[in-house]
Structure 1
Amino acid sequence: MQNSILRTAAKKDLPAILQLQKLCYLSEAAIYNDDTIEPLTQTIEDLYRSFDNGELFLIAVCNDQITGSVRGVVKKSTGHINKLIVAPSFQNKGIGKQLMTAIETQLAPVNRYELFTGHKSEKNLYLYQKLNYTIYQTRKIHDGLSLVFLEKPGSPLC
């Protein structure tokens, strides 16, 4: 993993996370021919609000640079995972998988984990299915975009 360290993000990390998010989602915007997708229009105030409301932000750091991030929150015994991002030059090195494993561990115990991605996002779908997520719903957003919802069982306390 190129000596990346995973840790919980601090509030001071949010601007760098947002900058990386916007870089990482440019490829998604190109796939869907839509530069108005939420990860590109999200503001720093939105991230501060999510952070202050208890959303967990994990980051991967290499040489003092944030190279990846993922977020999650537990609602009604479900761990909702979102915004898995890895800097383009650090992709395909296991960082995404390690971030996913870490966020699942941090959100546990839960009955299940849930996430979503776009229907044309083949790399994302491949990774999530490799991590034992299964598709349970597809929701059409507009002609060019459907969201694919995936889930996997969690490890509840009882």
Structure 2
Amino acid sequence: MVAELDEKFFLVRSDVLPESMQKTLEVKELLERGKVTSINEAVQKVDLSRSAFYKYRDAVFPFQAMVKERMITLFFHLEDRAGTLSKLLAIVANAGCNVLTIHQTIPLQGKANVTLSINTSLMNIDIEELIQRLNKLDFVIRVEILSSGA
């Protein structure tokens, strides 16, 4: 009988990943984009051993790859102004996301919290780009990713 793996996942900044993991991600990107025709060509191009690539290839993924075809929940702390929710939703819709749930608190002292659950399976930009666009809105105080899951 094979024991089930108790897998745990962590979100880690790229600058703290070991070089071999970063290079594994580079190899995967080269292959995905068709910039190389084989794993051997890709590992040579980024100066990574084949054994290191095979060791990490199924264990390290770019964040955007993990949220594709998934639901994510975003938390917003907003200034209470007319039209803020519609502007926020327009950016989410333009990114190709489908809004699943919306929860907004009653504004207190000119501030409100909004929680959005969105389906990202048809998203046409990276999650990082979406967060950047949302953060650029002058009424957004803070945006956080609360959860990501299937």
Give your verdict on TM over 0.5.
Answer: no
Q: Which has the larger radius of gyration?
A: 2
Q: Larger RCO: Structure 1 or Structure 2 (Cα < 8 Å, ≥ 6 residues apart)? A: 2
TM-score (norm: length of structure 2): 0.27
Structure with a larger share of its residues in strand: 1
